[in-house]
Each structure stands twice: as C-alpha cells, then as structure tokens.
C-alpha cells in the first residue's frame, strides 16, 4: 500500500512561530505541503513564510480566544478551507511551583491555551474533515501527560487532558475516516523553558545542559512519518524521548 503523499496537502500548524511548530512547518514544506501557519506573533510567521518555497497562509491568532479562532479559521479563503492535516501544537508552561504556591493566572494561561485552545481549533476544523470524509489530527501532548513530576502539577494536568481529548476524538470519529494521532515528546530544546521561566534565559538554558536534548526537528520527523503512513494505518501514539531521558525525572547527565 502506497504511503500518503503530502505534496499539495493543506496542513494547519498552530504554534508555528517557534520550536516544534516551526520545525514542522519546515519539514512539511519540504514534502510539498501547503501551510496555514497560526500563532500570535505575526511577524515571526511572516518571516517563516518568506523562507518557505511552498504556498503559505499565515494567521495571527490567539487560540485562547474562541471568537478569534472561529473568525480566522472558520472563514478561511476558499482555497485554504479543505484542511487535510491539523497539527494542534500551540501550547506552553508557566512556572514550576508547588501547587499551594502556584500562580492562578499562570494556571489560567496553561488551561486556556493547552486545553481550551486545542478544543476551539479542533471544533472549528474537524467538521470540515468529517464532511469531506478525509483528514488527520495530530495533537502534540507530552511525556508530562503520562507522568506527573514535582511542581509540574497544572502543566501536567493540561497534557493529561490532551491525552484524554485525543482518545475521545479517536473514538468519536469512528464513523469517519479521519485519523487521530498524538506525539508525546520528552525534553525538546525550544523556547518552551524560556516561556516557563518568564523569560529567564539562563535558567532555561540549564534545563538542556549535560545531555543531548531533542530538537524541534526530531518531533517534526515523527509528524512527517505519522502523516505519511498509508491511509489504513493510524499511528495512535508516539512517545519520543532523548536517549538520556528514561522518564520525566530519570536522566543521565554528564
Ligand atoms: P515554543 O515556546 O518554542 O513554541 C510554542 C508555540 O506555541 C509558539 O509558536 C507560540 O506562538 C504558540 N502559542 C503559545 N500560546 C499561544 C496562543 N495563546 N495562541 C496561539 N499560539 C500560541 O515551545 P515548543 O515548540 O516546545 O512547544 C510546542 C508544543 O510542544 C507545546 O504544546 C508544548 O507543550 C509541547 N511540548 C514541548 C516539549 C518541550 O520540551 N519543549 C515537550 C513536550 C511537549 P506565539 O507565542 O507566537 O503565539
Ligand atoms: C514538556 C516536557 O518534561 O518539561 O512537556 O514537561 S517537560
């Protein structure tokens, strides 16, 4: 059975302005896909779009804002409406504190982005896939959605929620040929820790010292593999870890 050809496919990537999302954009562009690039930082998306040689449609959108998501993704120009692949990647962590010392504003930000944002985008895009009888949703979860680690509390909860939503989507879409997959990465060196530590670059750098972390491209590689399987193959879950990482807290460092 032939692999699914990604050439000319329309791929919507949320969180395309940085890290894993940006790496996915570059890899899907190499495969000839047409890309809808979504994130809040428009200038980053436009810079990325200018570097790619495929058709792109950058959209500045805050996935936490349901009205904005519906207005931008629900009213795409005609030539961009038939989305083949949705990569629900936009997400973040804020803070690393004990639950009784955590910042409720940071909790809101994580819940609103990682759970509600993913839901709003999915609710806007999946009906078209069902109607067309074709589509693939790839959710970016985390090892943090499989194991809770100290002070990870609310971030882990959001990624456990992504795991539950992914499983729910797969079940609920049984009557359509839409595939549902998740990639659960371990430690990937992106801007993730800078965001978690509120811009503290030195603290963020330390997270990735003493071992070789994953890169965004390692996760994009998994996304390309999942998306290009023959149509009867639905890769349900992929856990990708740095070789040095054996669980959230068990690491071999130099
Ligand atoms: P980055 O910080 O590099 O990228 C996060 C992306 O999400 C950015 O493009 C950002 O764009 C976007 N984003 C954040 N909030 C919003 C919002 N409200 N609306 C729209 N876009 C938003 O981190 P990563 O690439 O590492 O993170 C990508 C995903 O991977 C996340 O879901 C994260 O939880 C997950 N992950 C990361 C791991 C890691 O170790 N790095 C491991 C496991 C999972 P902008 O700010 O322009 O809006
Ligand atoms: C991001 C990886 O281990 O920092 O999901 O939670 S971790």
Domain boundaries defined on the chain: 10-240
User: What is the Cα 222 distance to its own chain's centre?
Assistant: 12
Strands (E), the chain: 10-14, 34-39, 56-60, 85-88, 136-140, 179-185, 237-240
Cα–Cα distance, 153 to 240 (Å, whole number): 21
pLDDT of residue 239: 98
Say yes or no: CB of residue 140 within 6 Å of ligand 2.
no
Rounded mean pLDDT, 175-184: 98
**What mean pLDDT, rounded, does the chain reach?**
98
Active-site position among 155, 160, 198, 208: 155
Chain Cα centroid distance, residue 22: 10
CB 125 within 8 A of CB 83: yes
What pLDDT does 197 receive?
A: 98
Contacts of 72 (CB under 8 A, 6+ apart): 38, 59, 61
| DSSP helix/strand/coil, 227 | helix
For 61-79, what is each residue's pLDDT tens digit? 999 999 999 999 999 999 9
pLDDT digit string (tens) for 99-108?
999 999 999 9
Share of the chain above pLDDT 90, in %: 99
**CB count, 10 Å around CB of 2?**
7
**Residues 248/144, Cβ–Cβ less than 8 Å:** yes
Model confidence at 177, pLDDT cuts 50, 70, 90, reads very high
Q: Which pLDDT value is given to residue 1?
A: 82
CA 54 to chain centre: 21
Q: In the predicted model, is pLDDT for residue 198 greater than 90?
A: yes
Indicate the length of the chain as a whole number: 254
Per-residue exposure over 84-120, b if at least 16 CB sit within 10 Å of its own CB, e if not: bbbbbbbbbbbbbeeeeebeeebbebbbbbbbbbbbb
The predicted-structure confidence for 121-147, as pLDDT tens digits, reads as follows 999 999 999 999 999 999 999 999 999
Q: Does the Cβ of 182 fall within 6 Å of ligand 1? A: no
Question: Ligand 2, from 218, 239, 248, 251: best to mutate by most atoms within 8 Å of Cβ?
Answer: 248
Show Cβ contacts of residue 167 under 8 Å, excluding neighbours closer than 6 positions.
Answer: none
Which among 142, 152, 189 is the best mutation to test ligand 2's pocket, defined by most ligand atoms within 8 Å of the CB? 142
Q: Residue 15 — pLDDT band, cuts 50, 70, 90? A: very high
The number of beta carbons lying within 10 Å of the beta carbon of residue 34 is: 20
Residue 116 has pLDDT above 90, yes or no: yes
Q: Could you give the 3-state DSSP secondary structure of residue 219?
A: helix
Q: Is the minimum distance from the CB of 188 to ligand 1 under 6 angstroms?
A: yes
**Ligand 2 centre distance from Cα of residue 5 (Å):** 32
The CATH superfamily holding the domain 10-240 is NAD(P)-binding Rossmann-like Domain (3.40.50.720)
1 Cα–ligand 1 center, Å: 35
Residue minimizing CA distance to atom 32 of ligand 1: 91
Q: Which of 19, 71, 211, 238 to mutate to test the pocket of ligand 1 (most atoms within 8 A of CB)?
A: 19
CA 62/CA 97 separation, integer angstroms: 25
Is 208 designated active site? Answer: no
pLDDT tens by residue, 20-68: 999 999 999 999 999 999 999 999 999 999 999 999 999 999 999 999 9
Reported as a pLDDT band with limits 50, 70 and 90, residue 5 is: very high
36: its two tokens? 């809808």
């Amino acid at each position: 059975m032939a692999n699914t050809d990604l050439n000319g496919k329309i791929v919507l990537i949320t969180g395309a302005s940085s890290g894993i999302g940006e790496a996915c954009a570059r890899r899907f562009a190499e495969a000839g896909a047409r890309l809808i690039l979504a994130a809040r930082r428009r200038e980053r998306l436009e810079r990325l779009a200018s570097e790619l040689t495929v058709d792109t449609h950058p959209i500045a959108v805050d996935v936490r804002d349901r009205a904005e998501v519906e207005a931008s993704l629900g009213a795409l120009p005609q030539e961009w409406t038939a989305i083949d692949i949705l990569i629900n990647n936009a997400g973040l962590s804020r803070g690393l504190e004990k639950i009784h010392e955590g910042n409720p504003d940071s909790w809101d930000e994580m819940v609103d982005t990682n759970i509600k944002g993913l839901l709003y985008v999915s609710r806007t895009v999946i009906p078209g896939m069902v109607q067309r009888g074709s589509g693939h949703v790839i959710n970016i979860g985390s090892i943090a959605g499989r194991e809770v680690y100290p002070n990870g509390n609310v971030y882990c909860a959001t990624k456990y929620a992504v795991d539950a939503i992914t499983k729910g989507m797969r079940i609920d879409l049984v009557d359509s040929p839409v595939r549902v997959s998740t990639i659960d990465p371990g430690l990937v060196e992106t801007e993730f820790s800078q965001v978690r530590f509120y811009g503290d670059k030195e603290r963020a750098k330390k997270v990735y010292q003493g071992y070789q972390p994953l890169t965004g491209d390692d996760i994009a590689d998994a996304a390309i593999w999942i998306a290009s399987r023959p149509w009867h193959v639905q890769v349900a879950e992929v856990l990708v870890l740095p070789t040095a990482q054996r669980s959230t807290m068990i690491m071999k460092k130099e």
